[in-house]
Amino acid sequence: MQQLDTVLNSAEQTEAFAAKLAAAVTAPCFIALQGELGAGKTTFARGFLQALGHSGTVKSPTYTILEPYQIGEWVIHHFDLYRLADPEELELIGAHEMFEENCINLIEWPEQGEGWLPEMDLWLKIEYRDQARRFFLSATSQRGERILAAMPVD
């Protein structure tokens, strides 16, 4: 399994790291974003979306559960499952219909959808480290292995 472990010191560095991943990603793709409240999951999503060409704001979908973004031929779904009481709630919002070939899915709090979500391709765990953040990215599928291998390295 391929892995990448890095420490980032600012929101700008987080967005740049996300942009490197966005440069390598192809649809369909499922990316789990795990970390405590305020760890930088939405900052990562913002950098990822902006790198793909989104120019508007990127807000946390904590209350809406989902924010969709049409960028060229792709649809990027930014999920925040923090408030999900039961994974079956994903069925009520029609999430299965969102897991199509042209979709990239960024899923915050994926453990809340356990048993219902498909297999993740990449798993990003963010941990606090003093004023910085530790980003641990691992490939959890063959598709994820290909994406991680194609990710630009400084």
SS3 143: helix
Task: Please give the single-letter amino acid code of residue 62.
Answer: T
In CATH, the number for domain 3-150 is 3.40.50.300
Strand ranges of the sheet holding 122-129, from the earlier edge strand across to the other edge: 3-8, 132-139, 122-129, 29-35, 103-108, 74-80, 66-71
Token pair 């498909």: residue: 118
Tell me the per-residue pLDDT of 59-117, one tens digit each, with 9 for 90 and over: 888 778 889 999 999 999 999 999 887 777 887 777 777 777 889 999 999 999 888 88
What does the block give as tokens for 125?
Answer: 């765990």
pTM for the predicted model, two decimal places: 0.92
Q: Chain-wide mean pLDDT for the chain?
A: 89
Q: Angle 86-88-94 (CA atoms, 0-180°, nearest 5)?
A: 130
